Homo-oligomer: A and B are copies of this chain.
Amino acid sequence: MIHPTASGDERRSVRIREVGPRDGFQNEAETVPTADKIALINALGHAGLTRIELASFVRPDLIPQLADGVEVLRGVDLPAGTERMVLVPNGRGLDNALRQRELFTGQALFDAVTLFVSASETHNKKNINRTIEQTMAEVAVMGGRIVAEGLRFCAVVSTAFGCPYEGAVPMNHVLDLAERFVDAGAVEVGFGDTTGMANPAYSGRFFAAALDRLPGVEVTAHFHNTRGQGLANAYAALEAGCTSFESSFGELGGCPVPAGATGNIATEDLVSMLHEMGVETGVDLPALIDAARAAQSILGRPLTSHSIVAGPVVWAGR
């Protein structure tokens, strides 16, 4: 429900890209059973999440938690129009993704492909064992293939707000990488606060600059709640004009640096904040909270999102 005093000019809407099924399940110590993944994803879709990152075409020996990606893509039953997104780390992953798509051509397994690079050389090397230039050279080729297939090409620049190894990451360097993605055909660029180093003041400046530098591109904000500032960063990005956000139901996933830290901002907490401000998301918040609570049962531990415990705000007398 919207805060009773929300003013008319705040009645905006934003797009939310749910990354829990990929980023969240990937970070679970024990692989989530495929049937449970499918049930949770279906619940997310029916709660009104229209953009869901469902799988990643990575080496199953490196990330066994996502080895069942094709089964998940084939098994889910999502409302028409849901954007089914997959993450691809390199050309081999893209080969595999497109081959699977040909094999199951009647099903159109996915609609969008996300490619990524880290803005920090050290982080990129540690994450995917390549230099930034090697990654971007491959992106130029892969981007053309994605576009030629009629798929939506999305990009993510990670460690965009700071790197635990290198420290500060210059804003212009991050935005240069974003432009190179756009030159390669990307219609969306997300910026990831991979290890939770952003603050709201910088977030506001960053997204104002990004929206200025990337006209016509969907600019997406991805924050972590490492030090409790995740929603403050999201609010600052929103105020700077950002209307696209990534989050993870249940506050699942993320890059737990430092060890034990919480991950991505929780979709249900983000939606709660936005709805209370009168910003529309299209999400049925109670249904989303139900899905996050179901994830707690499946994973066998309490998750850290706040709305799981508190529920939506209830305004008496309305």
Across the interface, name the chain B residue whose C-beta is closest to A271. Answer: B227
Among the listed B167, B234, B273, which residue makes an inter-chain contact with A199, where contact means beta carbons less than 8 Å apart? B273
B202 engages A3 (CB within 8 Å): yes
Q: Number of contacting residues on A, CB 8 A?
A: 56
A230 to B226, CA, bound (A): 14
> When A6-B202, A228-B230 are in contact, do A317 and B277 touch as well, CB less than 8 Å?
no
Copy count, this protein chain? 2
The reply to whether the CB of A7 lies closer than 8 angstroms to some CB of chain B is yes
A306 engages B200 (CB within 8 Å): no
Which of A16-42 touch B at CB < 8 Å?
Answer: none
Chain B residues in 8 Å Cβ range of A235: 200, 232, 235-236
B-contact bits for A220-256, CB 8 A (1 contact / 0 none): 0000011111111011100000000000000000000
B-contact bits for A264-282, CB 8 A (1 contact / 0 none): 0110010011001110000
Interface contacts beyond A7-B205, A164-B314: sample of 15 additional A-B pairs, CB < 8 Å, sorted by A: A3-B201, A6-B201, A196-B313, A199-B273, A200-B235, A201-B277, A227-B269, A227-B313, A228-B228, A228-B265, A228-B306, A229-B231, A232-B232, A260-B310, A262-B306
Query: Which residues from chain A sit less than 8 Å from chain B, CB to CB?
Result: 3-7, 10, 162-168, 171, 196-197, 199-202, 205, 225-232, 234-236, 258, 260-262, 265-266, 269, 272-273, 276-278, 305-307, 309-311, 313-318
